[in-house]
Structure 1
Amino acid sequence: MRFYPLEKLINLHDGYTGQFKIDHRQILLMQRDNRCYALEARCPHRAHPLDTASISGELIQCPLHQYRFSLRDGSLIQATEEPCRALRTYELVYEGNEVGVMLEEDG
């Protein structure tokens, strides 16, 4: 496992959304209601980008087909068409003045 820094803590604020590419992964880092989340950047239903998704409480809603997922664990809460897999989420790691994720190295 390797630590991949995503953002400096000083840059985080409510409403923050940043997208990062690590190897083949696209990861969104978001802060809402003083809480940070890291999740895959595309909806698992039809791979629509989630950087403009609406967030209500701890739910994220895809802007394309309104699929809703839990920000905590990525579980599918509501499907408007066929069910899909859960949204990948990543545990955040705080190291020094940065927040990032621990990932298996590709190779």
Structure 2
Amino acid sequence: MRFYSLDKLINLHDSYRKVFKIDQYNLILLQVDGERYLLESTCPHRGHPISESDIVGSSLRCSLHGYQFDIASGDLIAATEEPCRGLKTYELIYQGTEVGVVL
């Protein structure tokens, strides 16, 4: 396992949204209401980019079929078709002035 730096803390702000590809991992880093989250960046229902999703309260709403996921846990909240698994979440690691992930 290895630490991958994602961004400098000074660059993060509410409404921050950035996608990262690290090896086989497709991730999205979000900041909402001062909290930071790292999740897989594609909807498990049909693989649509989560970066295009709307943030509704504390959830992400996939713009393709309207599936909703809890931002903090990744849990599926609402499905418009067949149920799917939730979004995978990843623990953010803070090192000095940077935020990253260990994969």
Assess same fold via TM > 0.5.
Answer: yes
Match of 1:62 in 2: 62
| Coordinate RMSD, CA, aligned | 0.8
Q: Distance between the aligned counterparts of 1:5 and 1:40, measured in 2? A: 16
- Deviation track 1:63-83 (CA, whole Å, cap 9, x = no partner) reads 000000111111111000000
CA distance in structure 2 between the partners assigned to 1:27 and 1:17 by the alignment:
10
Per-residue deviation, 1:57: 2.2
The equivalent of 2:10 in structure 1 is 10
Once the two structures are aligned, what percentage of the paired residues are identical? 56
Whole-Å separation in 2 of the counterparts to 1:32 and 1:73: 14
Give the drift of 1:84: 0.5
| Equivalent residues in 2 for 1:26-37, closer than 5 Å | 26-37=26-37
Q: In the aligned structure 2, how far is the partner of 1:68 from the partner of 1:46?
A: 13
Q: Which aligned pairs between 1:17-56 and structure 2 lie closer than 5 A? A: 17-56=17-56
1:33-92 deviations in Å (ceiling 9; x for gaps):
111110111000000001121112221110000000111111111000000011111111
**Structure 2 CA distance for aligned equivalents of residues 94 and 85 of structure 1:** 28
TM score, norm. by length of structure 2: 0.96
- TM-score (norm: length of structure 1): 0.93
The AA in structure 2 aligned to 1:85 is R
Q: Distance between the aligned counterparts of 1:101 and 1:70, measured in 2? A: 20
User: Between Structure 1 and Structure 2, how many residues are aligned?
Assistant: 103
Task: Supply the AA of the counterpart residue of 2:17.
Answer: T
* Structure 2 unmatched ranges of 5 or more: none
Q: Distance in 1 between matches of 2:86 and 2:33?
A: 23
